[in-house]
Amino acid sequence: MSDTHSIEKNPLRHIAIVMDGNGRWAKKNNLPTIAGHKAGAEATRRITEAAAKHNVEYLTLYTFSTENWRRDERWINELFGLLAWYLEHEIAILHKNNVRLKTIGDRKRLPEKIQKLINKAEDKTKDNTGITVVLALSYSGRDEIVRAINTIINDSKNGIIDSIDEKSFQGYLDTHDFPDIDLFIRTSGEKRISNYLLWQIAYTELVFEDVLWPDFTEEHLEKAMHEFKNRERRYGLYVA
């Protein structure tokens, strides 16, 4: 199968990444853990630019999971400090590059300062027409589904709906504005989903890379995209 043919067959609109391995990168380089996350933030900038260059429309990045709240408080504070810095300073670069920033997750659980910075960043970039970068913050797939169900129960009590199907259910998810995920990438060699986008990855192609997130380069992204383009997506349709 030629690449040209498979590119047409497999449009790549939406990539989701589990940016894993920042702590191990810091350890490997004898640095404090937060230095791994700083290097990870640089990889995020690099990969956002690379994905935009390759005409990817949506990039959803697992930044802080619901389960990550169980890590120690010092680590959490340091990570949110870094995130605040990113939202304050990186936003100018994102805006200049025509990036639209969005977030998914249980926003109410985030520190107030972060909530404000998110509102500001989303508002500033809302009319940009380049790649949409979605940060998953205080996010997990199960939590998202349960929050959706609670809203559905309320809407049902208020007589707004009396039944639900796949399409209308999707409308209640945090990701309701975004297309399904074509390609899922996890770095660091771990081969699991870790509660990411459970509903949305029903027919996503999965790629696991053995490199730690701070070392992830445009070449690694291109390799994953190439693998994706050579896959045969069947959606249960074909008989051998």
Is residue 10 flagged as an active site residue?
Answer: no
- Residue showing tokens 């060699």: 189
The pairing of beta strand 132-139 with beta strand 183-186: unpaired
Taking phi over 0 as left and psi of -120 to 50 as alpha, with beta for the rest, 194 belongs to: left
Q: Least distance in Å: CB of 221 to ligand IPE? A: 17
Q: Are 53 and 233 in contact (CB under 8 A)?
A: no
Q: Least distance in Å: CB of 200 to ligand IPE? A: 16
In terms of CB distance, is 20 or 144 closer to Mg ion? Answer: 20
The one catalytic residue among 10, 68, 97, 128:
68
In terms of CB distance, is 177 or 210 closer to Mg ion? Answer: 210
* Footprint of ligand IPE (CB under 6 A): 18-24, 62-65, 68, 79, 188, 190, 192, 194
Binding partner selected for residue 68 from Mg ion, ligand IPE, none, CB under the kind-specific 5 to 8 Å limit:
ligand IPE
In terms of CB distance, is 18 or 117 closer to ligand IPE? Answer: 18
The candidate with the shortest Cα–Cα distance to 136, out of 112, 101, 168, 169, is: 101
The one catalytic residue among 3, 10, 20, 22:
20
Binding partner selected for residue 187 from ligand IPE, Mg ion, none, CB under the kind-specific 5 to 8 Å limit:
none
Euclidean distance between CA atoms 238 and 240, whole angstroms: 6
Q: How far apart are the first and last CA of the chain?
A: 17
Is residue 174 flagged as an active site residue?
Answer: no
The candidate with the shortest Cα–Cα distance to 216, out of 6, 2, 51, is: 51
Q: Least distance in Å: CB of 143 to ligand IPE? A: 13
Does an H or E element contain 57, and which?
none
Q: Least distance in Å: CB of 236 to Mg ion? A: 32
Binding partner selected for residue 19 from ligand IPE, Mg ion, none, CB under the kind-specific 5 to 8 Å limit:
ligand IPE
213's tokens: 């997130």
Please identify which residue in 20, 90, 174, 182 interacts with Mg ion, judged by CB under 5 A. Answer: 20
Euclidean distance between CA atoms 141 and 158, whole angstroms: 26
- CA angle in degrees (0–180, nearest 5) for 61-45-133: 40
Q: Least distance in Å: CB of 230 to Mg ion? A: 28
State the amino acid at position 158 in one-letter form.
N
Binding partner selected for residue 22 from Mg ion, ligand IPE, none, CB under the kind-specific 5 to 8 Å limit:
ligand IPE
Residue number with the smallest Cβ distance to Mg ion: 20
The candidate with the shortest Cα–Cα distance to 15, out of 133, 144, 117, 143, is: 133
In terms of CB distance, is 10 or 195 closer to ligand IPE? Answer: 195
The residues of the shown chain that bind Mg ion, judged by CB under 5 A, are 20
Report, as residue numbers or ranges, the catalytic residues. Answer: 20, 68
